[in-house]
């Protein structure tokens, strides 16, 4: 949005003037800071700067109530409930009145031209309030072009985290490798799109001094006017239309491979080792049978009904950990164990080889971990950018073998079940994939697992007849 759909600027004078209106809104809500306009401006600017520096590294977007409480007005003895009640209104005021914003004049024409090409148009914006982007899109009379509209203030993660790019692609029902992203910042827009495996990443120039180093990737193109984007899109559409090979269009051939994540791409060789030692230190037993309770908690966490922090605390209390300091330490241990993953031999090389053959690749995972955590693991393994779709039970609210999990991946990839293979290890999940019409491959599998093919090594995927002889048109 900012710097791409619209350009923006500000001066100290306009912000000082706007701070007077900000003070009036605070006082009307019963929040009296006893600050003059200049003092309020300095307090707000310093707080926003602190928050911005923190989120540059965390890539987390906090609820506005926490931004005001923890970064802008910490230490002020004020009515927190009153502040919370107007936190969004205050942030919206800042984002609309602390900047002069105007739409690039060519944008409506370009959006209409893209729409007539038959392409979907979405938006991903780093923004602290929930209201500024939709309000300005309405003001410019262009909101109807955008589906989806993904805001960091709603999603909770910021560009360049590839998770927010994956999330937007899923909402648009488009493989990431069929997405083009255009933004003004290399360090946020281009880097994030690259990490998410987007087909193209285009930078548009915006004359604004952010005071940050803007490096990290090379754009596929750099443009000054949005109209220049149209030639790039036409060239890509012509290139796609020229690919009339039988392999690319035959609906009978396998086009995609969908993977479970845990115990397929990676494993945890030291699972529960630190947790058991921690419980023993507290004279508590890991051997107590809490299977039913753990399964219930896992179901809630995997379906997004409780967050991961709540899940870990509930597990600790289940085993008798009650002291606050012990709970905090126990949660850190459980987090360390979750992150202690090892990739199976050949995973990175095999995935890259499959991508080179032209296959669409997806992950269909039951997980309590937020998507950005799992994507970060993939990056560590050297294959973060290969995924065309990542389907998470935490985001969908259901678990495998529910057909919604598999169908969400197929919908995003634009394929039928007959065009995809699921690679898993659990008998129930392999059965679920087969029930929706997919072929299956079992790896690191349970004894009861039934599949069309079984492999002993991950790299054996490349020798499976369905894969070795099917869709092999290179897209690189």
Question: What's the CATH code of the domain at 160?
Answer: 3.40.50.1000
d(CA 26, CA 46): 18
pTM: 0.94
**Domain housing 94:** 6-100
The arithmetic mean of pLDDT across residues 400-429, rounded, is 98
At residue 469 the predicted structure's pLDDT band, cuts being 50, 70 and 90, is low
**Does residue 222 share a domain with residue 118?**
yes
Asked if residue 453 belongs to a domain, the reply is yes
d(CA 281, CA 260): 35
The helix (run of H) or strand (run of E) holding residue 281 is: helix 273-281
d(CA 147, CA 149): 6
**Does residue 260 share a domain with residue 406?**
yes
At residue 249 the predicted structure's pLDDT band, cuts being 50, 70 and 90, is low
d(CA 135, CA 146): 13
Sheet with 200-204, strands from edge to edge, namely 180-183, 200-204, 221-223
- Closest to 103 measured CA to CA, from 142, 159, 134: 142
- Considering Cα of 317, then 321, then 325, then 330, what sign does the dihedral take? negative
**Does residue 370 share a domain with residue 257?**
yes
**Does residue 235 share a domain with residue 126?**
yes
For the chain, percent of residues with pLDDT exceeding 70: 96
Count up the domains in the chain and report the number: 4
**Does residue 74 share a domain with residue 53?**
yes
Last residue of a domain, one of 289, 312, 339: 339
The arithmetic mean of pLDDT across residues 10-38, rounded, is 94
Here the tokens at position 267 are 């494993």
Asked if residue 34 belongs to a domain, the reply is yes
Q: Which residue has the tokens 């909770």?
A: 156
The arithmetic mean of pLDDT across residues 26-45, rounded, is 94
**Does residue 14 share a domain with residue 116?**
no
**Does residue 258 share a domain with residue 220?**
no
pLDDT score at 38:
95
pLDDT score at 248:
53
**Does residue 255 share a domain with residue 183?**
no
- The answer to whether the peptide bond before residue 362 is cis (omega within 30 degrees of 0) is no
At residue 474 the predicted structure's pLDDT band, cuts being 50, 70 and 90, is very low
Kindly provide the residue ranges of all beta strands, DSSP E only, lying in 18-90, ordered along the sequence: none
**Does residue 77 share a domain with residue 10?**
yes
Instruction: Reply yes or no on whether the pLDDT at 11 is more than 70.
Output: yes
The arithmetic mean of pLDDT across residues 249-254, rounded, is 73
**Does residue 332 share a domain with residue 300?**
yes
Asked if residue 33 belongs to a domain, the reply is yes
> How far is the CA of 59 from the CAs of 215, 315, 400, 446, in angstroms?
16, 28, 29, 38
Residue-wise pLDDT for 193-233, tens only, equals: 999 999 999 999 998 887 778 899 999 999 999 999 999 99
- Closest to 67 measured CA to CA, from 82, 52, 85: 52
């Amino acid at each position: 949005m900012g710097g791409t759909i619209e350009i923006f600027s500000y001066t100290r004078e306009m912000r000082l003037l706007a701070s007077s209106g900000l003070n009036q809104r605070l006082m009307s809500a019963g929040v009296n800071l006893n600050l003059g306009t200049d003092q309020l401006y300095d307090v707000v600017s310093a707080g926003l700067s602190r928050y911005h520096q923190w989120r540059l590294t965390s890539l987390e977007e906090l609820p506005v109530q926490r931004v005001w409480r923890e970064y802008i007005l910490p230490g002020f003895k004020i009515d927190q409930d009153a502040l919370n009640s107007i936190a969004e209104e205050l942030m919206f005021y800042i984002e609309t009145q602390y900047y002069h914003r105007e739409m690039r004049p060519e944008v409506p024409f370009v959006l209409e031209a893209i729409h007539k090409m038959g392409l979907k148009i979405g938006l991903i914006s780093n923004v602290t309030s929930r209201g500024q982007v939709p309000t300005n899109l309405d003001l410019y009379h262009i909101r109807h072009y955008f589906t989806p509209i993904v805001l960091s203030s709603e999603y909770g993660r910021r560009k360049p985290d590839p998770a927010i790019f994956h999330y937007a692609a899923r909402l648009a029902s488009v493989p990431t490798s069929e997405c083009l992203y255009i933004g003004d910042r290399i360090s946020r827009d281009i880097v994030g799109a690259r990490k998410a495996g987007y087909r193209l990443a285009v930078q548009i120039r915006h004359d604004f001094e952010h005071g940050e180093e803007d490096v990290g990737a090379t754009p596929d193109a750099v443009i000054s006017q949005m109209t220049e984007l149209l030639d790039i899109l036409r060239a890509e559409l012509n290139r796609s239309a020229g690919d009339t090979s039988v392999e690319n269009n035959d609906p009978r051939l396998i086009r995609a491979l969908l993977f479970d994540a845990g115990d397929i791409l990676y494993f945890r060789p030291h699972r529960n080792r630190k947790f058991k030692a921690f419980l023993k230190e507290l004279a508590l037993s890991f051997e107590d049978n809490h299977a039913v309770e753990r399964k219930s908690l896992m179901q809630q966490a995997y379906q997004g009904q409780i967050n991961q922090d709540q899940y870990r605390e509930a597990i600790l209390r289940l085993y008798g950990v009650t002291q606050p300091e012990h709970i905090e330490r126990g949660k850190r241990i459980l987090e360390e164990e979750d992150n202690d993953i090892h990739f199976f031999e050949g995973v990175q090389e095999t995935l890259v080889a499959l991508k080179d053959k032209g296959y669409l690749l997806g992950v269909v995972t039951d997980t309590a971990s937020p998507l950005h955590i799992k994507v970060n693991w993939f990056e560590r393994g050297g294959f973060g950018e290969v995924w065309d779709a990542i389907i998470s039970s935490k985001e969908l609210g259901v678990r495998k073998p529910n057909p919604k999990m598999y169908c969400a991946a197929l919908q995003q990839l634009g394929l039928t079940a007959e065009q995809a293979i699921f690679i898993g290890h659990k008998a129930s999940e392999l059965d679920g994939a087969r029930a929706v019409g997919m072929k299956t491959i079992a790896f690191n599998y349970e004894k009861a697992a039934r599949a069309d093919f079984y492999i002993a090594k991950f790299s054996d995927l490349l020798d499976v007849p369905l894969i070795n002889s099917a869709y092999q048109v290179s897209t690189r």
